Amino acid sequence: MTDEEKEPKQQEDWEIHWQKAQETLKEANLCFWKKHYNGCISRSYYAIYQTLATTLKKYGNFDEDSKEHEKVIYDFKRHHVKNGEKTFFKGEIEKWKSLRIDADYKSIMCNIDDTQKLLNIAKKFIKLNSKGIVEEYSIKEMLEGDK
């Protein structure tokens, strides 16, 4: 198989992840407006995760053998987060993941403030990518105003 024959599949793969990210964000919005905050947090986190996977696939940095969240997060941080922000990004994604775990698995109900904050972050990831998949993220700039 030539490189030309492979190209449409690679393009299709990242586009599928991108469509999933957008769809998942729509689900998060629906959950928010129905006051299903646990569902909104879970869907917001997955919209972010799918955006990370989209970026990795688009630039050829996605490891097809590992679908583990930690690996996707690590690879995204390594390849697409500006130097000097890698530790900050790791801390932020850990907070988001912790919220998602609480929402999905713990005997607690998520509050509106945390829910709205994570939904807004997911919207920023999607908006940033809607202008074209970005190669390098400034996480601090993107999150400005969400602290």
Count of domains for the chain: 1
What distance in Å separates the CA atoms of residue 105 and residue 96, rounded to the nearest whole number?
14
Q: Is residue 85 part of a domain?
A: yes
What distance in Å separates the CA atoms of residue 91 and residue 85, rounded to the nearest whole number?
10
Confidence check: pLDDT of 64 > 80: no
Full-model pTM: 0.84
Domain that holds residue 110: 18-143
Q: Is residue 97 part of a domain?
A: yes
Average pLDDT over residues 98-117: 95
pLDDT at residue number 123: 94
